[in-house]
Structure 1
């Protein structure tokens, strides 16, 4: 297979520039990609002409991603089914963590389970695809609540009919709001044996290209005193952000 050198370099330049928010000047691009200045200049001029790059002349002349490149990227995202992106990542995560992983969305004050992937030797969970659980005692629900404004959170919480599922379940609005504040600080939510006393779950929100929370992913397993749930939460937070970026989210 013959690769066109100019096209290859054009794609390399677009990828490199997209990873730097403040843009790069031509010397930096040439150095990082080992491209001759004359070749690089011609490519940059063409990419700017096509709207794939923009020139920032406020300081030293630098190049940033252009509107047409953004539109092409959004077209790719918009034409892909969300499940096509989330499902493979969730399946891989379940295998890696050896835990049951879910993707759920908000419906009223309930979480609806959309996807579920289990490790080779799964622990049986009551949640199945299509089933619903409360928003206040699931890591999925808390993760979604953590993305809401304070006003929206209070509005939603005031409408919840709290019912204890276990002795650990949150049972009032103020307690829930304090829990969500902690969730925001950590970057992940915990269901600390609140839905099922023998289960502990970690959840993080998922965002789309409009920076909207479209749901959450979680990892569930039997509660263990020696489990490092903070470390697990940090792993899930990292993977959740990767999924969000695949959906077009820009941090």
Structure 2
């Protein structure tokens, strides 16, 4: 919007770089390069007590993770914001990948990003079948009972996985839900080894999903791609046919978000 002719717009107000918000921003920026309070203090010019107070507030909000002994790193909150920004920027490339997976399988495709101890659907491509999935963009889903959630958990360090499982309580969503942390850890080893997760009616009865992890430019597990169908449509043999297609889609989305991947992933024939 331009100012009326003959009238000069007022100058922008100067930014107070000593204010509380500016200090938080400086600390957040420094955390991406430095891990310790002393290093962050030197980098920002703020006192160690100020840095420590700000970091503790950021840790409580989930924006920063770690402790004073081992240093600090960007937390789920910051990574989620970055992932959403990457997703929006990459959507012109990502959407055709999701539609391609839907066309190859005829089933509904979801893309979800991690948000704390949950994952949130940010894209959904409806399947070509006569029925529709009840899922919707913006819906938050558990990590322990969904294909995307388990694919994501399999990409995290075990200590972080156990912390997530403890906080969530692993409630049974169906009689098939894994509710024991040790059993889940063993299950995730299988997921990691084969490269994909299956939600075998664990989140909703009569629904089966195949999912693979999505990583960002740092290599961090930030979400996943899933293909969902009625359980009777995907038996073990069919799952093995479809899984490489899901893994390829997740791999391509990861690359669209800047993740560098070495090696080739075998791709199954188009399986409609």
What is the CA–CA distance in structure 2 between the aligned matches of 1:221 and 1:79, rounded to whole Å?
A: 25
Q: Which string of whole-angstrom CA distances, capped at 9 and with x for unpartnered residues, describes residues 167-208 of structure 1?
A: 111112112111111100110011011011101001111122
Match for residue 229 of structure 1 among 235, 239, 259: 239
CA spacing shift, 1:232–1:79, aligned 2, 3 Å: closer
CA spacing shift, 1:94–1:78, aligned 2, 3 Å: closer
Q: Where does residue 43 of structure 1 map in the other structure?
A: none
Taking structure 1 as the reference length, what is the TM-score of the superposition? 0.64
Match for residue 149 of structure 2 among 141, 153, 159: 141
What is the CA–CA distance in structure 2 between the aligned matches of 1:221 and 1:211, rounded to whole Å?
A: 29
Q: Where does residue 189 of structure 2 map in the other structure?
A: 181
Taking structure 2 as the reference length, what is the TM-score of the superposition? 0.60
Q: Where does residue 177 of structure 2 map in the other structure?
A: 169
Residue pair 2:111, 2:121 contacting (<8 A) in 1 also: yes
Structure 2: unaligned runs, 5 residues or longer: 1-84, 262-272
User: What is the CA distance between 1:133 and its match in structure 2?
Assistant: 1.6
1:196 paired with 2:204, answer yes
Residue pair 1:106, 1:112 contacting (<8 A) in 2 also: yes
What is the CA–CA distance in structure 2 between the aligned matches of 1:218 and 1:189, rounded to whole Å?
A: 9
1:238 paired with 2:252, answer no
Structure 1: unaligned runs, 5 residues or longer: 1-76
User: What is the CA distance between 1:227 and its match in structure 2?
Assistant: 5.0
What is the CA–CA distance in structure 1 between the aligned matches of 2:127 and 2:133, rounded to whole Å?
A: 12
Q: Where does residue 84 of structure 1 map in the other structure?
A: 92
User: What is the CA distance between 1:239 and its match in structure 2?
Assistant: 2.3
CA spacing shift, 1:139–1:78, aligned 2, 3 Å: closer
What is the CA–CA distance in structure 1 between the aligned matches of 2:134 and 2:151, rounded to whole Å?
A: 20
Q: Which string of whole-angstrom CA distances, capped at 9 and with x for unpartnered residues, describes residues 45-104 of structure 1?
A: xxxxxxxxxxxxxxxxxxxxxxxxxxxxxxxx9797132322221012112110000000
Name segments (4+ residues, structure 1) moved above 4 Å: 77-80
User: What is the CA distance between 1:214 and its match in structure 2?
Assistant: 2.5
- Residue correspondence of structure 1 range 204-219 to structure 2 within 5 A: 204-219=212-227
- Residue correspondence of structure 1 range 10-89 to structure 2 within 5 A: 81-89=89-97
Q: Where does residue 125 of structure 1 map in the other structure?
A: 133
What is the CA–CA distance in structure 1 between the aligned matches of 2:87 and 2:175, rounded to whole Å?
A: 45
**CA RMSD of superposed structures (Å):** 2.1
What is the CA–CA distance in structure 2 between the aligned matches of 1:135 and 1:80, rounded to whole Å?
A: 23
Q: Where does residue 51 of structure 1 map in the other structure?
A: none
Q: Where does residue 32 of structure 2 map in the other structure?
A: none
> Between Structure 1 and Structure 2, how many residues are aligned?
175
Q: Where does residue 59 of structure 1 map in the other structure?
A: none
